[in-house]
Amino acid sequence: MSKASTLAGRPKTRYRTRNWREYDRGLIARGDLTVWMSPDLAWHASEGTGRRGRPPVFTDAAIQTVLTLKVLYQLPLRAAQGMAGSLIRLAGLDWRVPHYSTLSRRQKDLTVAIPYRSRGGPLHLVVDSTGLKVLGEGEWKVRKHGADKRRVWRKVHLVIDADSHEIRAVEMTDHRHGDGEIVPGLLAQLPEAERIGVISGDGAYDTRGVYEASASRQAALVVPPRRNGKPWKGQTVGAEERNESLRAIRHLGRRLWKRWSGYHRRSLAETAMSRLKRLGERLAARDPARQVAEVQIRCAILNTFNRLGMPDTVAVA
């Protein structure tokens, strides 16, 4: 029997959501504008930063709030200023509205707060990367007439908590940087006191640097060795762990090893990438520093959505 016929005869797994009522309320709450702006928000800066020049009028939280509306509803800066002003008036607040030029200037060095829920147990992290377009035509024109030479992309690297589905770390680079070399910087964004149990990634993370970074956090690394990978020699960090995975794959087969090691949880990173791109596959900012803030704000939006409610699904026969 061929592989195709075997897969065709296998019944498709069905899933059932056990907390549909709570999840339904969470989906509705995602459209509530008071999630992003409330009277309790620290809006005006109370004191200076100690730097030379005029002290800021608005806090980072205020700038992030207006830029969140801009990213979420894909607005120009002027329209984001107008929306924020209308919400402030509807809420009966006497706050000033950041000018669009202030938003553009502050976005360049904005410290974005990405919310997450602390957990007591060791974390299971999954890491992956994707691309967001800066310049270039739409996908329909590319399919019809081919890609232009001016297509420019930025590479976004994410670390996802496999249990809470929250984004815990984010980096943005150009296409010349490999996935493995970014991992030490990603792990450095997590507090040292937070325990990491497992880190999962695809074959692009089968590098010595990733094993060293994982060992520095005392975490197990679940990464399939490359198909042409050879055992590592010497007493280098991670060599024994990687060689053991290589022997298990040769004995069990790659497919069975992935199921046995829990490697398939790595697909949660691809789900997070898909959700990130639903906020837009193109970056609106042109300056790299402003692009970083834009991506971080997207991550903050997704984590806020998760906090409002996530589905609890189980497989059914």
Asked, for residue 48, whether it belongs to a domain, the answer is yes
Q: What is the pLDDT of residues 72-94, one digit of tens each?
A: 999 999 999 999 999 999 989 99
Q: 276 and 290 in one domain?
A: no
Q: 234 and 88 in one domain?
A: no
Count how many domains the chain has: 2
Q: 278 and 204 in one domain?
A: yes
Neighbours of 293 (CB within 10 A): 23
Q: At what angle do helices 60-72 and 288-308 cross, to 10 degrees?
A: 80
pLDDT-wise least confident of 132-136, 236-240, 301-305: 132-136
Q: Report DSSP letters for the chain, one per residue.
A: --HHHHHHHSPPPEEEETTHHHHHHHHHHTT-GGGT--TTS--B--S--SSSSPPPSB-HHHHHHHHHHHHHTT--HHHHHHHHHHHHHHTT--PPPPPHHHHHHHHTT----------SSPEEEEEEEEEEEEE---HHHHHHH---TT-EEEEEEEEEETTT--EEEEEEE-TTS-SGGGHHHHHHTS-TTS-EEEEE--GGG-SHHHHHHHHHTT-EEE-PPPTT--PPPSS-TTHHHHHHHHHHHHHH-HHHHHHHHTGGGGHHHHHHHHHHHTT-SB-S--SHHHHHHHHHHHHHHHHHHHHH----EEEE-
Q: What confidence category does residue 139 fall into, taking pLDDT thresholds of 50, 70 and 90?
A: low
Q: 163 and 73 in one domain?
A: no
Asked, for residue 3, whether it belongs to a domain, the answer is no
Mean pLDDT, rounded, for 261-280: 90
Asked, for residue 10, whether it belongs to a domain, the answer is no
How much is the pTM?
A: 0.86
Round to whole Å and give the CA distance between 166 and 125.
Answer: 10
Q: Taking phi first (over 0 means left), then psi (-120 to 50 degrees means alpha), and beta for anything else, what does residue 298 get?
A: alpha
Q: Tell me the CA distances in angstroms from 55 to 42, 45, 81, one per residue in order.
A: 16, 8, 21
Tracing tokens 């970074």 back to the chain, one arrives at: 213
Q: What confidence category does residue 15 fall into, taking pLDDT thresholds of 50, 70 and 90?
A: confident
Asked, for residue 4, whether it belongs to a domain, the answer is no
Confidence at residue 187, expressed as pLDDT on a 0 to 100 scale = 95
Q: What confidence category does residue 148 fall into, taking pLDDT thresholds of 50, 70 and 90?
A: low
Q: How is residue 176 written in tokens? A: 């010349």
Asked, for residue 135, whether it belongs to a domain, the answer is yes
Q: 144 and 106 in one domain?
A: no
Mean pLDDT, rounded, for 171-198: 92
Round to whole Å and give the CA distance between 146 and 298.
Answer: 30
Q: 132 and 260 in one domain?
A: yes
Asked, for residue 2, whether it belongs to a domain, the answer is no
Q: 258 and 290 in one domain?
A: no
Of 208, 196, 202, 205, which is closest to residue 263 (Cα–Cα)?
A: 202
- Over 50: is that where the pLDDT of 1 sits? no
Q: 308 and 255 in one domain?
A: no
Q: What confidence category does residue 169 fall into, taking pLDDT thresholds of 50, 70 and 90?
A: very high
Q: How is residue 152 written in tokens? A: 């420019």
Q: 128 and 29 in one domain?
A: no
Q: 204 and 147 in one domain?
A: yes
Asked, for residue 175, whether it belongs to a domain, the answer is yes
Asked, for residue 294, whether it belongs to a domain, the answer is yes
Q: 193 and 89 in one domain?
A: no
Q: What percent of the chain has pLDDT over 70?
A: 89
- Over 80: is that where the pLDDT of 289 sits? yes
Confidence at residue 231, expressed as pLDDT on a 0 to 100 scale = 84
CATH number of the domain where residue 261 is located: 3.30.420
Mean pLDDT, rounded, for 294-310: 94
Neighbours of 195 (CB within 10 A): 15
Q: 171 and 205 in one domain?
A: yes
Is the distance from CB of 244 to CB of 229 less than 8 angstroms?
no
Residue ranges making up the domain that contains 87: 19-111+286-317
